Amino acid sequence: MQRQGDFKLPPFFNYPPYFTLQPVRETREKQVQLWKDLILDYCKSHKMYIISLEEDFPLFSNPNIERSLSYEAKEVFLAALVSEGRAEWIDKSHKKCLILWLRIQDWANYILDFVRENGLEVTTIEDIRSGIETHGTELAGIDRGVLMRALKLLEQKGKATIFKGTSADDEGVKFSA
Can you tell me the mean pLDDT for 48-73?
94
- According to the model, what pLDDT value does residue 164 have? 86
Residue 81 has pLDDT above 60, yes or no: yes
At 6 the three-state DSSP class reads coil
Q: Which of 40, 33, 30, 41 is nearest to 8 (CA)?
A: 41
Q: What pLDDT sits at residue 131? A: 87
Q: How far apart are CA 168 and CA 13, in angstroms?
A: 41
What length does the chain have?
A: 177
Whether the predicted pLDDT of 165 surpasses 80: no
Do residues 7 and 46 touch, judged by C-beta distance below 8 A? yes
Q: CA nearest 106: which of 79, 86, 122, 130?
A: 86
* Cα Rg, the chain, nearest whole Å: 19
**pLDDT above 50 for 27:** yes
pTM score, two decimals? 0.86
What does residue 104 show for φ and ψ, rounded to 5 degrees?
-55, -45
pLDDT score at 1? 47
The confidence score (pLDDT) of residue 2 equals 58
What's the whole-number average pLDDT of the chain? 91
Per residue in 111-164, pLDDT tens?
999 999 998 899 999 999 988 889 889 999 999 999 999 999 999 999 999 998
Instruction: Flag whether pLDDT at 170 surpasses 80.
Output: no
pLDDT of residue 45 exceeding 50, the answer is: yes
